[in-house]
Amino acid sequence: MPTEISGSTGVNKIQDGTVVNADIVSLAASKLTGALPAISGASLTGITTGKILQVVQTAVTASYTFSSTTSWQDLTGLNVSITPSATSSKILVTVHTNSAASSGENLYCHGRVLRDSTAIGIGDQYGSNAHRAGWAFSDSDGYTKTDTRSWAFLDSPSSTSSLTYKGQFYNQGSTTFRWNRTGEDNDDANSGRLISTITCMEIGA
């Protein structure tokens, strides 16, 4: 026979194992003690916005040099793909990047991010200005100085298809653009190699 629960009284005494989910109308939070079972974040209720659904990142540790350009060019390897789980989701895109000019020169270079073929998080058009960018690379003395830039944008792609976000640069000057490295890049204590990253976080709407 089932064991009667200690303290139960009356004709309809509660017996062990006879209380089912349908019998429980409400439960005070103070009654939730001890180790709770594992639960998926997808099962949580009452959280309507701001849930981080997934995070993807690409880190580029190699260094590259780029000459002047007359068009936007890809930053080698600085791309990441993500597939949103709902069209209402937003994608928080962040870029952290390092650069320098060739030794003894000044750098005039812009950066931006594309979602597939669409530039996002860029400045307004001004006249015939072709450089609607998200950030600027700069270096006032070349040589060992390195310029660090961080950029972030909350994108609303309204899509559940796979999306590719990638970084690009436009080097309008004659200076060689050195990425993830110092200007001289010698094997000594004054030089360094660096890392650049692009990260996408899906934010549930």
Q: What is the pLDDT of residues 111-141, one digit of tens each?
A: 999 999 999 999 998 887 667 999 988 765 5
pLDDT value of residue 166: 98
CA distance 204 to 55: 12
pLDDT value of residue 187: 79
CA distance 93 to 200: 5
**78 CB-near residues (< 8 Å, 6+ apart):** 58, 60, 95, 97, 166, 167, 196, 198
Q: What's the whole-model pTM score?
A: 0.74
Question: Bigger pLDDT: 77 or 130?
Answer: 77
SS3 call for 41? helix
CATH number of 52-124+132-203: 2.60.120.1340
CA distance 116 to 202: 16
In this prediction, residues 164-191 reach a mean pLDDT of: 83
